[in-house]
Structure 1
């Protein structure tokens, strides 16, 4: 039974341990779920809380266990079978949280008995105002240059910064003329940031992209630059005799 909001949560009322074999039930544990499972690639160190938090939300939601950390599925008082099922899932989530922390932070989890309390404690301890991090990200975007990197590596570095920035600043999703214009301006700014960081050897192709009407999307600009890069690689790899013949 999905929540009215369609957010993947399940209301506590009506959730029964009798349906623990139903994959849509939050009390369901897959045979591959075990306390040793590591849900995220980068453990929480304290400095990377926002990225870690986002990764954990995605992982827990995928396993239908987000309600055990955000308080949407509180500990029941009855029946006994439901209390037991909740405890089993809560302990599993606690283990996943423990596995996602740097060893220096493990004491936050190892003596805890409620995943919600751990989740809240981590947020209080490590969550910071967005403004300083947004400033840092914006400075990293400004200073992100291609240098010795390939177009692919440079674009990947820049896009990771854009994605993190977008996790803090989320544009409204409603569709109207003004909102579409805002999104177009936003995409235009991202395109300019991408082009500005290119090496000077790409001045010609950069000028061609800037003169295009309408402005190309970032994926289109990326494709044109990669094509240019590959053509250069082919040219360099050709024997001098072949180049002379051309």
Structure 2
């Protein structure tokens, strides 16, 4: 399906009945804010006068909350079933799961870099490669490079022959 080709087509394809659609009149200060909240002394009157906007917000919040809760597993859903604010649910999900995903991605990338480095070594370093890979905690690339560099210096091997194919004289 090809999207709208012009801005006129885009505007004509808008669903004006969508609860998330904003009208131009939604931005006029005199229609959104009837009474400014000054504190506890006028909270009730400010809240009563903002009922139409409050109802619209609650409707959008309910839709977003429904989308969120219907897109998670049953275990996660049960942990959020009494939530009443979509923003808070999203923030909690982000705090709980985004950290784990980010850490996993970083660990995976570090492991891939280490493997690429170790597999690029010549066969002369096979014992070092095996030793590094058999560690309970794998080193990062920087530490593995330092270990291999020390071994290279100890053996007196020319640097250019250790990181590529070994050329025979």
The structure with more radius of gyration: 2
TM-score (norm 1): 0.27
TM-score (norm 2): 0.35
Decide which structure has greater helix share: 2
The structure with higher relative contact order (CA 8 Å, sep 6+) is: 1
